[in-house]
A and B are shown apart, each in its own frame.
Chain A
Amino acid sequence: MVVRRAPELWWAALTVAAAAALYAWLAHAPQTAPGAVIGHSLGIAGFVLMLFTEIGYSLRKRSRRARWGPMKSWLRVHIYTGIVGPALILLHTSWNFSGLAGWTAIAVAVVVTSGFIGRYLYTAIPRTVAGDELSPTELAGLLRDIDARLAEAELPEAERLELTAARAHLQKRVKRVPRMRRLLALWHTVHVPLGVAMFTLAFTHVAIAIWFSAGVR
């Protein structure tokens, strides 16, 4: 089940749907313009969600000392906020994509698309529950374990079939690991600079908005 394997996607979809519904309900009011109360709040919320989770995820990933929570949970939060944040940004634009603000929105869309690709490359590599990659020795051990179970004489037929399928799947993944790892590294060298460029645009947009909206009332 996709829900069991990737609950963050479902939570994200649910949140986005709720935010969109709320927005649609409020859209009759003149407050949904990017600079009005609702529109502005959406932009700020989206920006904060994206910024803090990107930084938090990166810090957690690199930190040797701080070990708050398993990497897998962090990735889930990162994916959740990486979907909900941009969705709020999209609502914040009120479909006006001109100027720097428009570029920023497009940059967000590009980084989100890149993030989706990265997520599937990442999960293609077998990992521990904590999110660490499994070494070739550990993978060989896993295969050996399955073989040992299959060698048992009194194994029920249903379980045998399941194990055989799991072995085939694992073998396929193991075979793909070197290619996936190369792709992931390549993706990483693209995704991070894209993200940095996006945040540079976003910060400039925020600074300009603060400067030019000062006193506008």
Chain B
Amino acid sequence: MKPRRRLPFASPLALVSALVAIGAIGGAWWLSDGSIATPGPLSHESDGEAHHGAYRHAELDCDACHTGVGGGAMSPHCLACHDDTRAEISAGKSLHGKLPEVDTCLRCHTEHTGGEITRVDRRTFPHDATGFALTAHKKLRDGGRFRCSDCHTSGVLDFDAGRCRECHSKDPHDFLTGHLDAYGEACRGCHDGFDRFSKGVFDHDQTEFALDGKHAKTRCEGCHKGAHDLAGFDAAPHECISCHRKDDAHHGKRGDQCGKCHTTTAWKPAKEETGTKAEPGSRSGAGSKSTSRSKSASKSASKSASKSASGSGSKSVATPTGSARPTSEVAPADHEFPLTHGGGRKVACKVCHPKSNDAYTCYGCHEHTPRNVDRIHTRARVDDTRDCAHCHPTGRRTRRGR
């Protein structure tokens, strides 16, 4: 039997070799002041300010950052010196205050590269956490890829809103000028990079105010003029009268609820409103949605009706509103002006004679608003636009002016 040989790594030569290696490491460590242990030189970057006495990482000893086994995480050591970053985080402001998992410095920062200590991977950087997502900024207009410096012209920590304008003014259409006029230049007040407001993306019907009829054709500024942020857009009034007071042919007499009679398609035809064009008897019908003005009108009208007419007038009160037809005529037989003026149905006395039978006005009807009448008659050079029957004895249009 052959004598048992020693394991090769237990031989004297191997031990000598190990000792030589250890000696070489120790010597090199001593000569290089420990830098043989580093994967690369420390950064010489400096923001020009001293953080707890040091301007750059390269001035620090290993144990300023490296805590060793059992020494806990490194990030608190980073923040122990970087007061400004710590302040940002605790205030929840600026870049570090907004980023997620900001207490893990190594997510974005590195060392021992000899160069920049910030190594942000554009593909994984949570840019939306800064308040602006890059969803709509993936490709440049020419199809090229976005670089950070395309928007951050003076370093990634700064952003000048004017940069939006510089690029977007290259839009072939003249959209931006009008847009800026209407909403101001603080783009980021409304735009967060998610491209929510583009045509085909934004659906106004998902808001509390669906756009249909004429509203669908209205320019955004029509309702949202002066909005400079999303809250401003949200603050656009929902009530018709807020925008349409100037169009109110009833001068407020029918109240503020335009939608009760009108649709968004057009002002005319309005929904048939009980009491507007019906005879006195029918206007007092139960469940009527008539406005206060027509209510009072119908009250007094039915009073006069019951005075002068037979009992059949009161009969119609019980008749359902839609199918109501007057059973008596209160106007004198020689009433020159057609009682069916305005279309088909007989008009109640009070509509034209609100105060007495001796005076009349045509301005109780939305067709004849002072504005409409003035517009037409100024063109025709008619000065007196109050005594309408003088020129329109039958309520028809005159040839003059036509």
Contact residues of A with B, CB < 8 Å?
30, 34-35, 55, 58-59, 62, 64, 96, 98-101, 103, 188-189, 192-197, 199-201, 204, 208, 210-212, 214-217
Q: Are A211 and B68 in contact (CB under 8 A)?
A: yes
Q: Are B67 and A98 in contact (CB under 8 A)?
A: no
Q: Are A215 and B66 in contact (CB under 8 A)?
A: yes
Q: Are A197 and B38 in contact (CB under 8 A)?
A: no
**22 A–B pairs (Cβ distance < 8 Å), ordered by A:** A30-B119, A58-B9, A62-B8, A98-B39, A99-B38, A100-B25, A100-B36, A101-B39, A192-B8, A192-B9, A192-B17, A196-B14, A196-B17, A197-B18, A200-B21, A201-B25, A211-B68, A214-B68, A215-B71, A215-B73, A216-B66, A217-B75
The yes or no answer to B131 lying at the interface (CB within 8 A) is no
Instruction: Give 4 new A-B contacts, CB below 8 A, not counting A64-B1, A193-B14.
Output: A99-B40, A196-B21, A212-B62, A216-B74
Q: Are A64 and B4 in contact (CB under 8 A)?
A: yes
Give bound CA distance, A194 to B8, whole Å. Answer: 11
Name the B residues within 8 Å of A216 (CB-CB): 66, 74, 106
* B157-175 interface bits toward A, Cβ cutoff 8 Å, 1 = contact, 0 = none: 0000000000000000000
Q: How far is the CB of B115 from chain A (nearest CB, A)?
A: 13
Q: Are B17 and A35 in contact (CB under 8 A)?
A: no
Q: Are B40 and A96 in contact (CB under 8 A)?
A: yes
Q: Are B74 and A215 in contact (CB under 8 A)?
A: yes
Give bound CA distance, A36 to B4, whole Å. Answer: 45
Q: How far is the CB of A41 from chain B (nearest CB, A)?
A: 17
Give bound CA distance, A210 to B39, whole Å. Answer: 13
Give bound CA distance, A58 to B11, whole Å. Answer: 12
Name the A residues within 8 Å of B68 (CB-CB): 211-212, 214-215
Contact residues of B with A, CB < 8 Å?
1, 4-9, 11, 13-18, 20-22, 25, 28, 35-40, 62, 66-75, 104, 106, 119, 121, 124
Q: Are A100 and B37 in contact (CB under 8 A)?
A: yes
Give bound CA distance, A58 to B8, whole Å. Answer: 7
Tell which of B6, B21, B72 touches A215, judged by Cβ atoms closer than 8 Å.
B72
Q: Are B18 and A214 in contact (CB under 8 A)?
A: no
Q: Are B69 and A211 in contact (CB under 8 A)?
A: yes
Q: How far is the CB of B76 from chain A (nearest CB, A)?
A: 9
**Nearest A residue to B12, CB-CB:** A193
**Nearest B residue to A198, CB-CB:** B21
- Closest 8 interchain pairs by CB? A193-B17, A200-B21, A197-B21, A192-B8, A196-B14, A215-B67, A214-B69, A99-B36
**Nearest A residue to B26, CB-CB:** A204
Give bound CA distance, A146 to B4, whole Å. Answer: 35
Q: Are A193 and B16 in contact (CB under 8 A)?
A: yes
Q: How far is the CB of B187 from chain A (nearest CB, A)?
A: 32
**Nearest B residue to A35, CB-CB:** B39
Q: Quick one: given A62-B7, A217-B106, are A98 and B21 in contact (CB under 8 Å)?
A: no
Give bound CA distance, A96 to B39, whole Å. Answer: 8
Tell which of B6, B14, B37, B67 touches A214, judged by Cβ atoms closer than 8 Å.
B67
Q: Are B18 and A196 in contact (CB under 8 A)?
A: yes
Name the B residues within 8 Å of A192 (CB-CB): 8-9, 11, 13-14, 17
Q: Are A194 and B74 in contact (CB under 8 A)?
A: no
Name the A residues within 8 Å of B4 (CB-CB): 62, 64
Tell which of B5, B13, B66, B121 touches A193, judged by Cβ atoms closer than 8 Å.
B13
Give bound CA distance, A96 to B110, whole Å. Answer: 16
Q: How far is the CB of A38 from chain B (nearest CB, A)?
A: 15
Name the B residues within 8 Å of A204 (CB-CB): 22, 25
Q: How far is the CB of A118 from chain B (nearest CB, A)?
A: 12
**Nearest A residue to B25, CB-CB:** A204
Name the B residues within 8 Å of A59 (CB-CB): 7
Q: Are A208 and B37 in contact (CB under 8 A)?
A: yes
Q: Quick one: given A96-B40, A197-B20, are A212 and B66 in contact (CB under 8 Å)?
A: yes
Tell which of A199, A201, A210 touches B69, judged by Cβ atoms closer than 8 Å.
A210
Tell which of A30, A55, A200 touches B22, judged by Cβ atoms closer than 8 Å.
A200
Give bound CA distance, A189 to B11, whole Å. Answer: 10
**Nearest A residue to B40, CB-CB:** A98
Name the B residues within 8 Å of A189 (CB-CB): 13
Give bound CA distance, A193 to B121, whole Å. Answer: 44
Q: How far is the CB of A50 from chain B (nearest CB, A)?
A: 13
Give bound CA distance, A208 to B68, whole Å. Answer: 10
Give bound CA distance, A34 to B110, whole Å. Answer: 13
Q: Are A200 and B18 in contact (CB under 8 A)?
A: yes
Name the A residues within 8 Å of B67 (CB-CB): 214-215
Q: Quick one: given A215-B71, A215-B74, A217-B74, are A194 and B17 in contact (CB under 8 Å)?
A: yes
**Nearest B residue to A64, CB-CB:** B4
Give bound CA distance, A187 to B119, whole Å. Answer: 47
**Nearest A residue to B65, CB-CB:** A216
Name the A residues within 8 Å of B13 (CB-CB): 189, 192-193
Give bound CA distance, A202 to B398, whole Å. Answer: 110
Name the B residues within 8 Å of A103 (CB-CB): 36
Give bound CA distance, A99 to B29, whole Å. Answer: 10
Give bound CA distance, A79 to B40, whole Å. Answer: 33
Q: How far is the CB of A204 from chain B (nearest CB, A)?
A: 5
